[in-house]
A = this chain, B = another copy of it.
Amino acid sequence: MQTAMLDNHGTTPIQFSRARTASTVAPTPIRTQCSTCHLKDLCLPCGLNTNDVERIDALMFGRRRVKMGQTIYREGDKFQFIYAVRSGTFKSSLTLKDGREQVTGFHMAGELMGMDGLASGNHASAATALEDAEVCAIPYAHLSDLAAANGNMQHVVSRLMSREIVREHSLMMLLGSMNAEERLAAFLLNISQRMKARGYSATEFHLRMSRAEIGSYLGMKLETVSRTFSMFQQQRLLEVDKKHIQILDLDGLSRTFDTRVQ
């Protein structure tokens, strides 16, 4: 109880702690170099100079292939790695007592996952591949050593974590003060931005997640997600064909929620 209390001092509203089975995927011995990676401007090395990136290269990250539906870690798993998405899409989720899941995030190429595990030494969420994917497994202990020896490096890691905090702030705002329409618009515009940042079209893309997963993430039922998609289509804001989305009116979509968000 005492330790639980100490663990909780950081303003955690609800406490999750529970052991689960070990990781589902075995590491494969492929090694990765950040310096030659095409994602280096989006991923961990972003903001580092050539010297620092070389230092990261020396860590020789393992790379793992992950099949669709597989998890790279689950709630309760020991925290050892931070994972960078090389290809594919992931979801982060928590499992509720009644078996339902709460999706807390989606992750695309160049994005990092697993930083929630640092707090207690165990992952607080699970990460599941929404399509066949590949990740770099960054051993946190090594990264930490590197950061200890290099202020620049440490700053990058801290900034990445802070970014995660800011991201969750905005999601909180979305869940706390927007209606279904605004939520879906915000979601689609966010995906759009991230696709664009990765060199894909900002107005036409394939969603990797199901209506139920979108709904869980946005705090609404899958039927409401579906209906809202249909509504946007009627308003000529979108063209929707199952998971294939075409944004017809980016500005119009923005206006849907612009009035709420500063």
Contact = CB atoms under 8 A, between A and B. Distances in A.
A112 B165 CA distance: 13
A10 interface: yes
Contact of A219 (B106, B161, B176, B262): B176
Nearest to A110: B9
Interface string A94-121: 1111101010111110111001111110
Interface of A: 5-6, 8-16, 18, 41-42, 46, 75, 94-98, 100, 102, 104-108, 110-112, 115-120, 124-125, 144-145, 147-148, 150-151, 154-155, 157-177, 186-187, 189-190, 193-194, 196-197, 216-219, 258-262
A195 to B, nearest CB: 11
Contacts of A42: 6, 9
23 contacts: A5-B197, A8-B197, A10-B163, A11-B107, A13-B167, A13-B190, A14-B190, A15-B170, A15-B193, A16-B261, A75-B262, A95-B262, A97-B258, A97-B262, A118-B159, A118-B161, A124-B166, A124-B169, A157-B158, A158-B158, A161-B161, A164-B165, A177-B216
Counting chain B CB atoms within 10 Å of each CB, which of A10, A177, A259 scores highest?
Answer: A10
Contacts of A147: 148, 154
Contacts of A166: 10, 12, 16, 116, 119-120, 124
B262 A169 contact: no
